[in-house]
């Protein structure tokens, strides 16, 4: 029994010892708490509610609400790790007051903002933080692209614009257009980017229009951004008047007619190439261009092919190579396909839809003053001219982009009625295993007559 009492006494002493340590520890923590709350409990001011920070051009707009604390008299906006700040006096007048303050002169970049409110004694609120706020500037503006124009033409007094397409996620919102109407008054029009076409009504003939693309970096941004203006002329489509058998500028279009041959009952199929080659109707083609038969001057300027996803599409063609029967026909020297028309004085745009072209092939799109196309050497010996004033003055371009389905344009002016020959000339070199070619889907002419 004595041993049992001793054990109980020891346990009682241990229990009292543990209780003592706990009390001492508790007192120590309370003293520590008092050390940090000397003068009373911590008091925080009511913080800004519903904070929004809207991006802009070298600035932001801070917006929020003062709701919970009518004693707030001051608001501080911090950024750059609190190295920069802005003080906003607060005068509470209603149950809900608003904060609206611009922070300006900011360098383009990404910022973190802290907004802290204070009462008259200086008690701060818990900071409200917004991270990753973008501020836009010249670097952003430098990469903005004006909406491309795929086509513009004048139909009586309506200018029809076909837009080329733009990445709409870039923030492009609309095109701002300034043109002159038939009364001579400047008119401003806004055309949204989600439309592929636009019309300018009562458009003044022989005038130009200016347009730019307007961007909003994000839906809450406070500033819009603009590309530089581009000046464009709307010309009348005169294809029907001056081009026979013009083909189709868009193979996928449900309107228009693809190139037609002289006859579907005549043609040649040459070993090494399974296509049926025919002559192109309404266009003059020389002997060199018609190299798909038993000799030159047989067939070759019309062929059906797959064009931009359209099978059996009638195509204007210059091609040499892969003829295993008559290898002499694998080289075409100054092959030509053209028309000659008497054009009235005016400014002209001659356009062609390139279906495809082989690499490193000297083929040219030409408008030449006179009744023939020059040879390649004579053509390239002189610079392309904007005004066709004398015989054999030529506006031309080499077709070099290896791609399927794109438009090319040459522009020229004639100051009096002039015979103009337009079309294609090239020297193509192939072998029994390789070829060079030019495929044209359509040709179009537009004019601003004097």
CA geometry: angle at 129 spanning 127 and 131, to 5°? Answer: 160
The 3-class SS string of the chain reads CHHHHHHHHHHHHHHHHHHHHHHHHHHHHHHHHHHHCCCCCCCCECCCEEEEEEECECCEEEEEEECCCCCEEEEEEEECCCCEEEEEECCCCCCCEEEEEEECCCCCEEEEEEEEEEECCCCEECCEEEEEEEEECHHHHHCCCCCCEEEEEEECCEEEEEECCCCHHHCEEEEEEEEEECCCCEEEEEEECCCCEEEECCECCCCEEEEEEEECCCCCCCCCEECCCEEEECEEECHHHHCCCCECCCCCCCCCCCCCECCCCCCEEECCEEEEEECECCCEECCCCCCCCCCCCCCCCEEEEEECCEEEEEEEEEEEECCCCCHHHHEEEEEEEEEEEEECCEEEEEEEEEEEECCCCCEEEEEEECCCCCCHHHHHCCCCCCECCCCCCEEEEECCCCCCCEEEEEEEEECCCEEEEEEEEEEEECCCCCEEEEEEEEEEEEEEEC
Query: How far is Cα 45 from Cα 184, in angstroms, rounded to an integer?
Result: 63
Q: Report pLDDT for 406.
A: 94
Q: Report pLDDT for 354.
A: 97
CATH topology of domain 144-236: Immunoglobulin-like (2.60.40)
Q: Report pLDDT for 359.
A: 95
φ/ψ of residue 92, rounded to 5: -80, 125
* In the chain, domain spans: 1-39, 49-137, 144-236, 239-449
Q: Which CATH number fits domain 49-137: 3.40.50.720, 3.30.565.10, 2.60.40.10, 3.40.50.11540?
A: 2.60.40.10
pLDDT < 70 positions in the chain: 1-41, 271-273, 449-450
Q: Report pLDDT for 16.
A: 46
Contacts of 185 by beta carbon, 8 Å cutoff, 6+ apart: none
Q: Report pLDDT for 52.
A: 96
Q: Which CATH number fits domain 239-449: 2.60.120.260, 3.40.50.2300, 3.40.50.410, 3.20.20.70?
A: 2.60.120.260
Query: How far is Cα 180 from Cα 188, in angstroms, rounded to an integer?
Result: 9
Q: Report pLDDT for 42.
A: 77
Q: Report pLDDT for 78.
A: 96
Within this chain, domains 49-137 and 144-236 share the same CATH topology: yes
Q: Report pLDDT for 34.
A: 39
Q: Report pLDDT for 208.
A: 92
Q: Report pLDDT for 325.
A: 87
Q: Name the nearest CA neighbour of 74 among 55, 63, 89, 86.
A: 89
**CA dist list (Å): 26 to 23, 29, 35, 78, 340:** 5, 5, 14, 39, 107
Q: Report pLDDT for 35.
A: 38
């Amino acid at each position: 029994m004595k041993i049992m009492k001793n054990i109980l006494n020891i346990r009682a002493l241990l229990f009292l010892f543990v209780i003592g340590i706990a009390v001492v520890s508790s007192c120590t923590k309370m003293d520590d708490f008092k050390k940090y709350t000397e003068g009373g409990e911590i008091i925080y001011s009511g913080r800004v509610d519903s904070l929004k920070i809207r991006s802009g051009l070298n600035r932001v707009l801070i917006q929020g609400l003062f709701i919970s604390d009518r004693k707030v008299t001051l608001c501080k906006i911090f950024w750059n790790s609190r190295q920069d700040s802005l003080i906003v006096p607060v005068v509470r007048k209603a149950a809900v007051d608003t904060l609206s303050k611009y922070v300006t002169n900011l360098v383009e970049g990404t910022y973190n903002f802290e907004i802290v409110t204070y009462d008259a004694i200086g008690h701060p609120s818990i900071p409200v933080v917004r991270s990753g706020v973008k501020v836009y500037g010249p670097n952003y503006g430098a990469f903005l692209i004006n909406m491309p124009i795929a086509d513009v033409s004048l139909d009586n007094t309506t200018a029809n614009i076909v837009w080329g397409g733009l990445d709409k996620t870039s923030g492009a919102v609309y095109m701002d257009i300034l043109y002159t109407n038939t009364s001579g008054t400047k008119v401003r029009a806004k055309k949204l980017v989600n439309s592929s076409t636009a019309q300018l009504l009562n458009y003044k003939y022989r005038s130009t229009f200016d347009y730019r693309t307007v961007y909003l970096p994000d839906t809450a941004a406070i500033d819009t951004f603009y590309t530089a203006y581009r000046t464009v002329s709307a010309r009348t489509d005169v294809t029907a008047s001056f081009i026979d058998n013009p083909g189709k500028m868009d193979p996928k279009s449900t309107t228009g007619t693809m190139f037609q041959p002289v006859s579907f009952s005549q043609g040649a199929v040459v070993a090494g190439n399974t296509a049926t080659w025919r002559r192109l109707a309404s266009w003059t083609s020389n002997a060199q261009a018609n190299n798909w038969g038993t000799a030159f001057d047989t067939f070759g300027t019309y062929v059906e092919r797959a064009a931009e996803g359209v099978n059996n599409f009638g195509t204007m063609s210059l091609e040499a190579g892969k003829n295993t029967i008559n290898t002499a026909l694998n080289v075409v020297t100054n092959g030509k396909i053209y028309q000659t028309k008497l054009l009235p004085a005016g400014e002209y745009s001659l356009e062609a839809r390139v279906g495809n072209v082989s690499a490193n092939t000297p083929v040219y799109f030409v408008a030449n003053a006179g009744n023939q196309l020059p040879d390649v050497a004579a053509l390239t010996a002189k610079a392309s001219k904007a005004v066709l004033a004398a015989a054999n003055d030529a506006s031309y371009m080499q077709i070099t982009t290896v791609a399927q389905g794109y438009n090319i344009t040459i522009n020229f002016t004639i100051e009096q009625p002039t015979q103009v020959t337009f079309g294609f000339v090239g020297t193509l070199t192939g072998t029994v295993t390789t070829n060079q070619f030019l495929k044209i889907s359509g040709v179009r002419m537009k004019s601003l007559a004097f």
